[in-house]
Amino acid sequence: MKTILVCVAGLTPQIITETLYYYLIEKKPPIWIDEINVLTTSEGKDIIVNSLLNKKDGVFYKFLSDYNIGFNKIKFDENSVIQLGGDSCVKDIATDMDSAIIGNEIVNYVKNLAIDNNVRIICSIAGGRKTMSVYLSLGLQLYGREQDILSHTLVSPDFESIKDFFYIPPEEKIITVKDKNGLIIKTLNTKNAKIVSSEIIFVRLRNFLNVKDELFYDDLVGIVQKKVDYCGTKLISIDLKNRALLLGNKKVILKPIEICIYNLFLSLKKKCIQEFCGNCMDCYMSLNEMRSQEAYKSLLEFYNIIYSENSGQYDRLQESFKNDGKGEDFFSQNISKINKTLKQHLNPFEFAFYKISKVGKYNKRYGIYVDKKNILS
């Protein structure tokens, strides 16, 4: 898997090499970085290119030389330093307009990287304007996957903001710190420096969005917020006796067999050993699994709540289950009818949440997206 280090940086390019040092040298086991991309302003780009990527004495090449890393092993050149603001050429983030332009660019940049499942993204938020760091964090929250990392690199206080310190070299080095008048304030030995990185746990909201949508940041947040609010407040319960689904504040009446099939999916979800559903689909069933004697038995138990065992309706259903007399069409047709009824009574958000979903390309499996904690007994 390819790993791309994404940094936001401004007037302190040190954070780029410090983060690179941590993941390649300090972290145990190390994480190899295949490529570095830096998001910055026009002013920041000039400083980064001149200090790190100067062919004569660029610090990035010095780092590679110090640690015997081939110059072509890590992709990082002038094209890797991305100037935010596009045609607007934002020099600094001074206005709400600057913030909006840069925010949209950063979030969309993360989205485009995260489309490739063979890429892992490490987002470093230690550099740049705080606004840039916030947007990079939020971009990863919106589009990040399990393999992606949100990182904040920290340097020993004595070495913070020291313009001549970029990483800990393999051979110790003395750094002289001077004031604005050129007078020596102190000397530092790089052997005393420490570089650490805090990997921050973050909420992944990717499943609430369609990565194909081209939307502005505020629209994306609005969509996610509505869906999060919806998932957190909408509960589900079933009144089997009255053949009613209670979905949030809505009541949907189904036919007896339909309500029993829907309840079958919910009961399996509640029995699952997984504490949190998320993207788990262990409780989903194929049409073939629905035709098992265990599933038939559960359906009859639910059906018995609506009709007594001595009723003709119960006897006919029981008889039809003998020797698997119903066949696959019985379930597929009833699932279609259930979803059709739900679609008539629910808005699109609600329908996506409560419908009987189908997943898989070949051996299709069926289940309900609702989290088990939202199911009331």
**pLDDT band at 362; cut points 50, 70, 90:** confident
Q: How many domains does the chain have?
A: 2
Query: Looking at the whole model, is its pTM more than 0.85?
Result: no
Q: Which residues form the domain of 319?
A: 234-374
- Tell which wins on pLDDT, 78 or 208: 78
pLDDT score at 73? 95
- Residue 242's SS3 state is coil
Domain check: are 353 and 295 in the same one? yes
**pLDDT band at 222; cut points 50, 70, 90:** confident
Question: Which residue carries 């610090």 as its tokens?
Answer: 59
pLDDT score at 240? 82
**pLDDT band at 327; cut points 50, 70, 90:** low
Domain check: are 348 and 324 in the same one? yes
What's the pLDDT tens digit per position in 50-77? Answer: 999 998 899 999 999 999 999 899 999 9
Average pLDDT (198-212) is 82
Residue at which a domain ends, from 192, 226, 260: 226
Domain check: are 72 and 196 in the same one? yes
Give the dihedral of Cα atoms 344, 349, 351, 353; nearest 10 deg. Answer: -160
Beta strand extents in the chain (DSSP E only): 2-8, 35-40, 81-83, 119-124, 149-155, 174-178, 184-189, 195-200, 236-239, 244-247, 250-253, 285-286, 356-359, 365-368
pLDDT score at 70? 93
pLDDT at 131 over 90: no
Average pLDDT (161-172) is 92
Whole-number Å distance between alpha carbons of 205 and 244: 32
Taking each continuous run of H as one helix and of E as one strand, the counts in the chain are 12, 14
pLDDT score at 80? 95
**pLDDT band at 197; cut points 50, 70, 90:** very high
Domain check: are 187 and 308 in the same one? no
Beta bridge partners of 246: 237, 251
Residue (of 63, 104, 57) closest to 85 by Cα position: 104
Domain check: are 287 and 221 in the same one? no
Domain check: are 287 and 316 in the same one? yes
Whole-number Å distance between alpha carbons of 290 and 327: 10
**pLDDT band at 88; cut points 50, 70, 90:** low
Whole-number Å distance between alpha carbons of 143 and 147: 12
Q: What is the DSSP-derived secondary structure letter of residue 365?
A: E
**pLDDT band at 254; cut points 50, 70, 90:** very high
pLDDT score at 324? 61
What's the pLDDT tens digit per position in 226-250? Answer: 666 655 556 788 888 888 898 888 8
pLDDT score at 234? 66
The domain that holds 106 is classified in CATH as: 3.40.50.10770
Domain check: are 68 and 183 in the same one? yes
pLDDT score at 207? 76
- Whether the CB-CB separation of 105 and 84 falls below 8 Å is answered with yes
Domain check: are 215 and 255 in the same one? no
pLDDT at 325 over 70: no
What's the pLDDT tens digit per position in 269-307? Answer: 888 887 767 677 888 999 888 888 888 888 989 888 888
Amino acid at residue number 128:
G
Domain check: are 351 and 254 in the same one? yes
Residue at which a domain ends, from 226, 253, 281: 226
**pLDDT band at 20; cut points 50, 70, 90:** very high
Whole-number Å distance between alpha carbons of 174 and 124: 27
Whole-number Å distance between alpha carbons of 104 and 115: 17
Average pLDDT (5-22) is 93
Radius of gyration for the chain, computed over Cα atoms and rounded to the nearest angstrom = 29
pLDDT score at 281? 83
Q: Give the rounded distance of the alpha carbon of 66 from its chain centre.
A: 36
Domain check: are 8 and 128 in the same one? yes
pLDDT score at 216? 78
pLDDT score at 273? 80
Q: At what angle do helices 42-52 and 59-66 cross, to 10 degrees?
A: 40
Residue at which a domain ends, from 226, 252, 271: 226
Encoding tokens for residue 218?
Answer: 């505020």
- Whether the CB-CB separation of 153 and 194 falls below 8 Å is answered with no
Q: Name the helix (H) or strand (E) containing 295.
A: helix 293-306
Domain check: are 247 and 317 in the same one? yes
What's the pLDDT tens digit per position in 22-61? Answer: 999 999 999 999 999 999 988 889 999 999 999 889 999 9
Provide the mean pLDDT of the chain: 87
Which residues fall within 8 angstroms of residue 270, CB to CB, at 6 or more apart? 372, 375
Domain check: are 249 and 315 in the same one? yes
- Whether the CB-CB separation of 314 and 300 falls below 8 Å is answered with yes
